[in-house]
Amino acid sequence: MRLLEERIQTDGIVREGNVLKVDSFLNHQMDIKLFREIGKEFKRLFANEEITKILTIEASGIGIACIVAEFFDVPVVFAKKSKSKNIAGAVYTSKVESFTHNKVYDVIVSKKFLTKEDKVLLIDDFLANGNALKGLIEIVKSAGAELIGAGIVIEKGFQKGGADLRAQGVHLESLAIVDSMDDVTGKINFREQ
């Protein structure tokens, strides 16, 4: 998505350790006009699919998922990150190992809000190693729901998440794929797609 790539190149900041800061427009301050273009693009990419629910994960997936959901006219459910050991009640859970934060946490979704009738589109801001997305996929499977696909705003193509998920046959659409970036020059190379 050209508009998004231009915005990443203009306002994104490449940090040491292959971290891309996009908090001026994506995951701290949020540019809703850009989000609307993102929503429109996901709607185009998944135009032929029947979708009943959008599933994301807190925190930074939520804002994007809500704007995207307007284009699909479906509810958004966000998986909650839980640190408590004993999770009470009727919930689906999955363990996610965060590479960036070097910790393992449980993600939970109430059984009330995801059922076997659901056709689910996953939405998230970043895809790196893919652990968050794999956790969400496990939850979709536990619910017996159908996974339609996953829409990602920025994929870090040099980390393994995207390749893993495509190899598993997941219909993955990333609006911008960063193949490499340089924290000295600030130059970001995007995959042609």
100 binds ligand G4P (CB under 6 A): yes
Among 18-26, 43-51, 66-74, 184-192, the segment contacting ligand G4P (CB under 6 A): 18-26
125 binds Na ion (CB under 5 A): yes
For ligand G4P, the binding residues in 19-78 under the rule CB under 6 A are: 19-22, 27, 57, 59-61
Q: Which secondary structure element, helix H or strand E, spans residue 4, and what is its range? A: helix 2-11
Tokens of 40: 């429109």
Query: Are the beta carbons of 67 and 36 closer than 8 angstroms?
Result: yes
Among 58-66, 81-89, 155-163, 180-188, the segment contacting Na ion (CB under 5 A): 58-66
| CA torsion, ordered 131, 135, 136, 137, to nearest 10 deg | 100
Binding residues for xanthine: 20, 27, 156
| The only residue of 61, 135, 161, 162 in contact with Na ion, by rule CB under 5 A | 61
| The only residue of 3, 49, 95, 99 in contact with ligand G4P, by rule CB under 6 A | 99
Query: Are the beta carbons of 149 and 173 closer than 8 angstroms?
Result: yes
Q: Which secondary structure element, helix H or strand E, spans residue 36, and what is its range? A: helix 32-45
60 binds Na ion (CB under 5 A): yes
Tokens of 13: 């900041």
174 binds ligand G4P (CB under 6 A): no
Distance of alpha carbon 130 from alpha carbon 163, whole angstroms:
9
Among 33-41, 72-80, 92-100, 141-149, the segment contacting ligand G4P (CB under 6 A): 92-100
Q: How distant, in Å, are the alpha carbons of 35, 72, 87, 158 from that of 128?
A: 20, 26, 27, 8
β-pairing verdict for 119-127 and 53-57: parallel
Among 37-45, 98-106, 164-172, 184-192, the segment contacting ligand G4P (CB under 6 A): 98-106
Binding site for ligand G4P (CB under 6 A): 19-22, 27, 57, 59-61, 98-101, 125-132, 156, 161
Binding site for Na ion (CB under 5 A): 60-61, 124-125
